Copies of this chain bind each other. A is one copy, B any other.
């Protein structure tokens, strides 16, 4: 089984499949062209190639699109450590925008800081890649909640 640097042990041996199948149901990821590229216990990465139709008024990636990929990366990092029958919900997050999001592609990394039965705290980073070196463009701190036993919600 894949081991994260963080040393978390997943409760659900099928955590990677669980994350992949839930990600496949996030239709917004298909709209923007984002892909799930890494799933470890407590750590998930999502890749987003730049597209002109994802931008704000200065031609950079819109902060909401940055949030879309890093929120999912954090949520799935949390889900990777939850029981097999659980689902994940974002309770709240804070995003800091550190530099203009310009680049050829972007990687959002979500990492579990503190897992919990009900509440899991995650940390996220978004990097821009291009002709220049890797650049940190945003950070997130998010609170994720474990949902269990709610048919119609917890199956996703």
Contacts and interface: CB of A to CB of B under 8 A. Distances in A.
Interface of A: 22-23, 25-28, 30-31, 52-59, 62-65, 67-69, 71-72, 87, 89-100, 113-114, 118-119, 121, 123, 136, 139, 141, 143, 145, 152-153, 156
A34 B23 CA distance: 24
A96 B53 contact: no
Contacts of A113: 96, 98, 136, 139
A132 B7 CA distance: 20
**Identical subunits present:** 4
A62 B28 contact: yes
Given A28-B56, A64-B71, A95 B96 contact: no
